[in-house]
Structure 1
Amino acid sequence: MQEKAPRRSNRERTDATRDALTRAARSLFIAHGYAQTSTPQVCAAAGITRGALYHHFSDKRDLFRHVLELESRAVAEHIVSETSGPVPAAEALLAGADAYLDAMSVPGRTQLLLVDGPAVLGVADVMAMDESHAAGTLREGLAAAMPRETDVSVDALARLLSAAFDRAALDMDAGAEPDEVRGAMRWLLKRALAG
């Protein structure tokens, strides 16, 4: 006699459906881009009905925003995991720089966060998303590591360095030598910390 599989709760079914839609959408957005990905394609890839998709997400743009939110959060979590521990603030900041570039090297992530995201959601929305995740970790690291006597705005410097990090990730995604890009970013950070 076969044992019956335990019944899943509504919450487990909801989570499984959202996860299937998210994974399918991420894969299709990377493979075909946002504009060339349709909700029927996402539903077919996820094995989910269109009604279920619209139960969880208001439209394709809402699903895309969810995918980007998860990607952005994953970047920040990787930075935090690589920079926690009792090390001087400047060393943690340099480790965070490497962690950001590592996190952005996940296939498709640079395209989603730095190319398609601003084009679909707008620069302001993507910057706000970044601000609540990876950009916040950069600002915190700079505030802890910068000399106290400096008159440079930590917020302004964080925004400028964030743009440099994004460009570095785009360069690496386009095939630039990773060690050269990492070296240049570490040099830039060291100069910023020198005051």
Structure 2
Amino acid sequence: MSEDGRDGREQRSEVTRSALVAAARSLFVERGYAAVSTGDIARVAAVTRNALYYHFPTKEAVFRAVYEDVEGQLAQRVLPAALAYATSRGQLEAGIEEFLDGCLDPTVARISVLQAPAALGFAQMREIDNRNYLGALRDGIRSAVEAGELPDLPVETLASMIIGALDEAALLIATADDPAAARRDAGVVARALVDGLFVG
């Protein structure tokens, strides 16, 4: 087969995969993971179920791809916002604020906060998140501790506890009757926590 033929086939394959992920994302947001079948996804993507299974062996694999997509887009918001600041404190504050803003997105709320724990489990979620913004958060905290900007505390424990607080804030926002009010409250508390860390 010619190089052009292979390239065309790979391009069509990628178009099909992207259509499946987009269809699944829409369906999971609208109906929830448990209520969506692989047949539903294939039908909305306008492909056969065989085409779906060529790319994704299970519904969980489709969800993982959707989660990676959603978290990658969130990271594309959080990391530039944080890196716009020169200081560790500014980076942490800006990153937290952008993360909390991102949690107002119904797709983030439905996919990342409400459905992913049951669909993927903690280990897969943490693996994906570490490749996105959580690894950068740990690196930033480590640099701040080494520079004396933060207390000399165990970096992994401190990072994990900050992440835990953000996960809980995301859940509060996602399940609140008034998400905007919950986000404002989360921001107030997050700023107080950062103030406490950087005292002295």
TM-score bucket of the superposed structures, by smaller chain: 0.7 to 0.9
1:86 CA drift (Å): 5.3
1:100-179 equivalences in 2 (<5 Å): 100-146=99-145, 148=148, 150-173=151-174, 174=176, 175-176=178-179, 177=181, 178-179=183-184
Distance 2:19 2:68 in 1: 16
Distance 2:184 2:193 in 1: 14
Q: Map Cα deviations across residues 16-51 of structure 1 (whole Å, 9 max, x no partner).
A: 111111011011111111111001111111111111
Note if contact 2:79-2:133 (Cα within 8 Å) is conserved in structure 1.
no
**More helix, by proportion:** 2
| Paired AA for residue 188 in structure 1 | L
Task: Tell whether 2:17 aligns with 1:18.
Answer: yes
Number of matched residues?
189
Q: Secondary structure at the match of 1:133?
A: helix
The aligned counterpart of 2:97 is: 98
The aligned counterpart of 1:191 is: 196
Note if contact 1:72-1:133 (Cα within 8 Å) is conserved in structure 2.
yes
Note if contact 2:75-2:132 (Cα within 8 Å) is conserved in structure 1.
yes
| Paired AA for residue 156 in structure 1 | T
Q: Map Cα deviations across residues 136-159 of structure 1 (whole Å, 9 max, x no partner).
A: 122122223346273311111111
- Quick one: percent identity of the two aligned structures? 32
Please, which runs of 5 or more residues in structure 1 have no aligned partner? 1-6
Note if contact 1:93-1:145 (Cα within 8 Å) is conserved in structure 2.
no
The aligned counterpart of 1:4 is: none
How high is the TM-score relative to the length of structure 1?
A: 0.88
Q: Secondary structure at the match of 1:30?
A: helix
After alignment, is 138-147 or 152-161 more displaced?
Answer: 138-147
CA RMSD in angstroms, aligned pairs only: 2.0
Note if contact 2:93-2:191 (Cα within 8 Å) is conserved in structure 1.
yes
Q: 1:48 to 1:101 in 2, by over 3 A?
A: same
How high is the TM-score relative to the length of structure 2?
A: 0.86
